[in-house]
Structure 1
C-alpha cells in the first residue's frame, strides 16, 4: 500500500485525504498549526491518521507521494528534505484530476479569477452538471469523490500550478498578470509569469486558451512562447476574430463564426474589469454550447462575490463598499477606477512591496480622504500625504468605519480596498471584510 502524506489540514488537504483513502492509499495528514475542529472530526470519522501543531519528520519522509497545501512555500526546510529524498510532491488539483474524466475549465490570473470562476459556474450550472472548486468552495478532491460532476470550474492560483505535472484543463482562462506574491518567486516577475502560464503547458490542439489581449505581459509572453491550444482572446480596445470584443456598447462574442451580442449596460456588475470577466466567462460558456439566451440572462442576474466590490449598506445617502479581497495594488486600481462618486478610501495592511504609482490618477480625481488601516502605515502616509486633504491612521476596523462615517457626506462612497494582505491585523481577507460589514451595520 502506497503511503500518501498530506501537509496542511485545511479544505484542500482534508479533501485530498478522503480521496486518497478511497483510492487505496495509506494516508497521513500533518499540519504545523492548529487544525480546525470540523476538519479533525472528518479525519477521525474516516479513520485517517493525522497530527497538528507539528510535522513529525519520521512520519513524513517515508512517504511515496506528498501533497502540500499551496500556502507552504518551497523554501521551507521540510519541503527541501522531501525533494532531496526524491519523493514526488503534487498539488490537490494534480492529484484529484487523475480520478475524473470531467471537462475542466481552469481559471487563473492575478485579479478577477474568483469573480470569473463564480460567474462561469453561474452560467454553466443553468444547463450542465457542474462543480466549483480549486481556491473556492468545497475541495476539488472531495467533490470528485462525493458528487462526481461531469464538469468543473476551478479557480487555480499560481501556487497550485507550481506543483502540477500532467494537469490539463479543456478550457484555460488567464484573466491578467500583474506583480503579486513575488516573495514566493525570488522577487522575479518572470518566475511568477511562467508559473501562471503552466495552466496551458499540457494542453493540446483540442483544448482552448482564453486570455486578455489588452494585457502587455500576456501578449509578450505568447509572442515568444508558442502554445498548442486554440487561442481565444478578449479585449476592450481591439477587434477580436475569435473571442470577445466591444462594438458600440455591445459585447460581441465569436466562436467558430457563431456570434452572441450582449449590451454592456445590462451586465449586473459594474466596472471595466467586470466587462472583461463577463467576456471570459461567456466565451467559455459559448465553447461549451450553452444557449445564447441562458448566457445573457445569467450575466444580467449574477450577484457578484462576497468581499469583491460588495455593496454593504447605504446610510445617510453614503454607499459603503467592501472590497477586502483587493490584496494587491492592481485589484484596488480596478476598484478606484469604478468609483463614480467622491470616495473615502480605507487602505493598508501587510505591504508586499507595493508600488502605488498607478493609483495616483484616481486618488487625485476621486479620493477625498484616506484612512490607513495597518500596523505600519508610514509608507502610505508618505506616498499619499500630499494628495488628499485628510489622511488618518488607525489599527481598528471599528474606528476606521466611524472616522469614515464622520468624513463622508451625502452622495459619497466609503470604500474598503486595502491593496495589501490582511495578516497584520486580521486572520485573512474574509475576516477583514466581515469586520468591515459588522462595523458598518453598527453605525
Structure 2
C-alpha cells in the first residue's frame, strides 16, 4: 500500500531525535510539516531547518485540531486531552515507527519487553552481521528508525518501547518478540497495567513468527493469531529452556543442548534468558547456529546494564543504572551470589509502581538499602530496618565506601526513572562510575 502525504497538513509533536528525523523524512518527500514542543527551550531546537514553522512551550495549540496527520514522539503521552479530542475529530495520530512500517520492503525483527530490549537487539545485530546480512539497528535504542530507512539493508532490527507501539498500526514483522512484561510506566496509562500489557502485545498482531515468554502467560486470544508460528522460551516446557541443575546452567532447544553458560562472558539469569531469546530469533531467521553461538560467547554487557565496574579487595561494584523499573531491580538482586552484604542503591522517580513486591526479597537477603532521589524517602519505608535515606547518589556512595567490607557487592539498580536528579540513566550511571573511581 502506497501512502500519499501531499496536500495534507502534517504536524510533528516533540523536538527530540525522533521529531527531527520526522522533519527530515517529510522534507525528503518535498513536504513541509509544522512542529510543536512542550519545552520553551528544547535542546534540539538548533537542528530545526529554518523554513519550518514551530511553536514552543505547550501542546495546547490550534495547529493540533487543524491537522490531517500528527506524528507523535514517544515521550509525549497519547492520552493528553487535546490529543483525545483530535482523535474524536478523525485526525490521524501515528508514531515514527508507523511511518517507517509504511515504507519498508525488507524483513523486520521487532523486539520489545519491559527489560533486556537493548541487549537482545544488539546481540541479534551482531549475529546477523556475522551471518552476512546487511543489518541495521534502530528505534528505542537511540537511532530513530527513519534515520536507517535509506540504508541499503536486507534486514532491520528495531527495539520498541510501549510508547512507540501506542500509535503503530501497520508493523509487519518477520519476527516479533516480547522478552517480558512487568509493571512499568503505570503512571502513563489511565487504565493501568493491563493497558500497558495490551500495548506491548500489539507487536504480535501482524507478525509472521511470534516468540513468547512462557512465564508471562500471554493470552493468545488478545492477539490476531491467523497463520502465525509460535515459539516459546522461559519454562521447562518451552521450546527454548534453561536447565539449572548444575552450577553452570545449560541452554536447550527441545531436548538438545545448545550452550553451557560457563562458556559465556555474561553473568546472571536475566542474561541467560537474553541469550536464549537471541538463539530463538537466530534459529527462526535461519542464521548459522555456529555464528550465533560464537557471537554470544564473546558478548559482554552493554554499558549501565549489570556492568561490573570494579572488583577489588573482595568488593564488587555493579552499575545497573538502566534498571528503571522495579522488576529489573528484582532480576538484578536474584542474579547476585555472595556471602557478604548486598549494598543496594535504590531511588529516583518510581513512576507510581508497586515497590512492595521487593519486601520479601529484602527480608531473605543480607542487604543494606540506600534510598535516594525523588521517591527516596517513600522507598526507604518498604523495609525500614534495612534501609536508609540519603539525599543523592554521591552522598550514598561516600557512605557506602566507609561501610563496605570484603565479600560485599555494591549494586546501583535504582528501579526508577532517573528524572529529578539526572537527565537520563546514562548520566546517572556515568556519575556512579566516576564516584567509584574517585572515592574508592
The alpha-carbon deviation at position 238 of structure 1 amounts to: 1.5
Match of 2:10 in 1: 4
Confirm or deny that 1:186 pairs with 2:184: no
Pick from 312, 321, 337 the counterpart of residue 324 of structure 1: 321
Confirm or deny that 1:274 pairs with 2:275: no
Match of 1:97 in 2: 101
Match of 1:161 in 2: 165
The alpha-carbon deviation at position 296 of structure 1 amounts to: 0.7
Question: Against the structure 1 CA distance between its residues 303 and 49, is the aligned structure 2 distance closer, same or farther, given a 3 Å change threshold?
Answer: farther
Match of 1:407 in 2: 403
Match of 1:31 in 2: 37
Gaps of 5+ in 2: 1-6
Quick check: 332-341 or 346-355, which moved more? 346-355
Whole-Å Cα distance in 2 between the matches of residues 199 and 98 of structure 1? 15
Match of 2:48 in 1: 43
Aligned-partner SS, 1:262 = strand
Whole-Å Cα distance in 2 between the matches of residues 166 and 27 of structure 1? 22
The alpha-carbon deviation at position 25 of structure 1 amounts to: 2.5
Match of 1:305 in 2: 302
The alpha-carbon deviation at position 356 of structure 1 amounts to: 3.2
Q: Deviations over 1:150-183 (max 9, x none)?
A: 2111111111111122112110001111122122
Match of 2:220 in 1: 222
Aligned-partner SS, 1:418 = coil
Whole-Å Cα distance in 1 between the matches of residues 211 and 184 of structure 2? 21
Contact 2:60 2:82 (8 Å CA) reproduced? no
The alpha-carbon deviation at position 137 of structure 1 amounts to: 2.6
Contact 1:2 1:26 (8 Å CA) reproduced? no
Question: Against the structure 1 CA distance between its residues 56 and 374, is the aligned structure 2 distance closer, same or farther, given a 3 Å change threshold?
Answer: closer
The alpha-carbon deviation at position 187 of structure 1 amounts to: 4.3
Contact 2:78 2:166 (8 Å CA) reproduced? no
Whole-Å Cα distance in 2 between the matches of residues 23 and 304 of structure 1? 40
Contact 1:322 1:437 (8 Å CA) reproduced? yes
Match of 1:130 in 2: 135
Whole-Å Cα distance in 2 between the matches of residues 379 and 99 of structure 1? 47
Q: Deviations over 1:292-334 (max 9, x none)?
A: 1111111111122221111222344322111111111110011
Contact 2:108 2:156 (8 Å CA) reproduced? yes
Contact 1:43 1:49 (8 Å CA) reproduced? no
Aligned-partner SS, 2:380 = helix
Quick check: 57-66 or 268-277, which moved more? 57-66
Aligned-partner SS, 2:48 = helix
Pick from 54, 57, 72 the counterpart of residue 53 of structure 1: 57
The alpha-carbon deviation at position 357 of structure 1 amounts to: 4.0
Confirm or deny that 1:419 pairs with 2:415: yes
Confirm or deny that 1:140 pairs with 2:145: yes
RMSD over equivalenced CA pairs, Å: 2.3
Quick check: 313-322 or 6-15, which moved more? 313-322
Q: How many residues align?
A: 425
Question: Against the structure 1 CA distance between its residues 266 and 48, is the aligned structure 2 distance closer, same or farther, given a 3 Å change threshold?
Answer: farther
Whole-Å Cα distance in 1 between the matches of residues 230 and 397 of structure 2? 45
The alpha-carbon deviation at position 200 of structure 1 amounts to: 1.1
Match of 2:211 in 1: 210
The alpha-carbon deviation at position 232 of structure 1 amounts to: 0.3
The alpha-carbon deviation at position 123 of structure 1 amounts to: 1.6
Aligned-partner SS, 2:388 = strand
Whole-Å Cα distance in 2 between the matches of residues 74 and 403 of structure 1? 42
Q: How does 1:233-382 map to 2 (within 5 A)?
A: 233-235=232-234, 237-240=235-238, 243-247=239-243, 249-253=249-253, 261-341=258-338, 342-382=341-381
Whole-Å Cα distance in 1 between the matches of residues 410 and 191 of structure 2? 33
Question: Against the structure 1 CA distance between its residues 290 and 311, is the aligned structure 2 distance closer, same or farther, given a 3 Å change threshold?
Answer: same
Confirm or deny that 1:65 pairs with 2:69: yes
Question: Against the structure 1 CA distance between its residues 299 and 51, is the aligned structure 2 distance closer, same or farther, given a 3 Å change threshold?
Answer: same
User: Which TM-score applies when normalising by structure 1?
Assistant: 0.89
Question: Against the structure 1 CA distance between its residues 238 and 201, is the aligned structure 2 distance closer, same or farther, given a 3 Å change threshold?
Answer: same
Aligned-partner SS, 1:436 = helix
The alpha-carbon deviation at position 290 of structure 1 amounts to: 1.4
Whole-Å Cα distance in 2 between the matches of residues 279 and 101 of structure 1? 28
User: Which TM-score applies when normalising by structure 2?
Assistant: 0.90
Question: Against the structure 1 CA distance between its residues 104 and 238, is the aligned structure 2 distance closer, same or farther, given a 3 Å change threshold?
Answer: same
Question: Against the structure 1 CA distance between its residues 297 and 13, is the aligned structure 2 distance closer, same or farther, given a 3 Å change threshold?
Answer: same
Contact 2:205 2:223 (8 Å CA) reproduced? no
Q: Deviations over 1:333-389 (max 9, x none)?
A: 110001122311111122233333443444234443211112343332221112x3x
Match of 2:22 in 1: 16
Contact 2:210 2:231 (8 Å CA) reproduced? yes
Question: Against the structure 1 CA distance between its residues 36 and 226, is the aligned structure 2 distance closer, same or farther, given a 3 Å change threshold?
Answer: closer
Contact 1:10 1:35 (8 Å CA) reproduced? no
